[in-house]
Amino acid sequence: MIVTPLTKLLGIRVPVVQGGMQWVGVPKLAAAVSEAGGLGILTALTQPSPEALRTAIRETRKLTSKPFGVNITLLPSINPPDYEGYARAAVEEGVKIFETAGNNPGPLIKFFKSQGCIVLHKCTTIRHAKSAERHGVDVLSIDGFECAGHPGEEDIGGLVLLARAVKELKIPFIASGGIADGRGFAAALALGASGVNMGTRFMCTVESPIHQNIKDKIVASTEADTVHIFRTLHNTARVFKNKVSLEVVAIERRGGAKFEDIRELVSGARGRKVYELGDPDYGIWSAGIAIGLIDDIPTCKELIARLESDVEKIVQDLSGLVQTKTKL
């Protein structure tokens, strides 16, 4: 059994958090992860309104009695979503665990803490992690350059970020980005993390709501099959390398590209259709380089049980490397 500050704080058996992924973090997946012993996460903005989020929370509760959380990601937008409405709806429905991410999370964190909630905040730099720590979050999710979605603009891998985190942070943190198996999980614990956050790995499970074709594509892909877009717009995102993402990169490389030049290509509606229709080239969809470590499509229960047993074995094997010195 793996016991860390995260398992104690959240009341979960295995210190594994399912990433709050757009169009993927829905009741069926979140409940399956929680039932398997991890922490399932509903993605608030996948739901069209705060009222729809209420319905999703109730659906999840019908599927599991175990703890689960809600992700609210603050996105750069001209017309931002009703973040406050989503937050209030979730709290009123009795959710006690929240994952936050994005810019200026202070007001949201303050609200959740005022309601007695536990807050995990995702960061891509140590300075942002220390800022969130000052805001009173309970756990930090340290997001390395390997991750799907937005890795920040400083291109620092998880190996260095986690080593920095253990020296500079006073609260527990978990590792996010590039983790899909027991070896990566064990490495994160060795680096001082209290657990791991996995997104791409959970996309490729039986309970994941995405089309079977996309799951099969993930299994067939390697760590070389992702690409960064929005680099010239200083809003870098790691996505699957397909016809659309390569077209976006080509437009950016010409120089002087504006968001309006690629808006149609990167629309969220097209990305959602990828998961619904099963055409991997239809739009932009997120994938981390952990894609290269995924070679099957297990249930969440099978995956988490495998992770747990693999970590225990790896840690036990490593302990055998240390031998007591004997006097000559």
pLDDT (tens digit, 9 = 90+) per residue, 245-268? 999 999 999 988 999 999 999 999
Residue 288: inside a domain, yes or no? Answer: no
Whether 179 and 245 share a structural domain: no
**Which residue range(s) make up the domain with 252?**
226-277
* 238 and 188, same domain (yes or no): no
CA angle, corner 146, sides to 142 and 148, nearest 5? 90
Mapped onto helix, strand or coil, the DSSP state of residue 237 is strand
Q: What was the pLDDT predicted at 94?
A: 98
Q: Based on the domain organization, do 135 and 269 belong to the same domain?
A: no
Shared-domain flag, residues 89 and 204 = yes
Is residue 11 a part of any domain in this protein? yes
Tens-place pLDDT, residues 154-185? 999 999 999 999 999 999 999 999 999 999 99
Could you tell me if residue 11 is left (phi over 0), alpha (psi between -120 and 50 degrees) or otherwise beta?
left
pLDDT < 50 stretches in the chain: none
**Same-domain status, 151 and 246:** no
CA dist 229 and 233 (Å) reads: 9
Query: What confidence score (pLDDT) does residue 323 get?
Result: 84
* Same domain, yes or no: 170 and 133: yes
Do 65 and 184 belong together in one domain?
yes
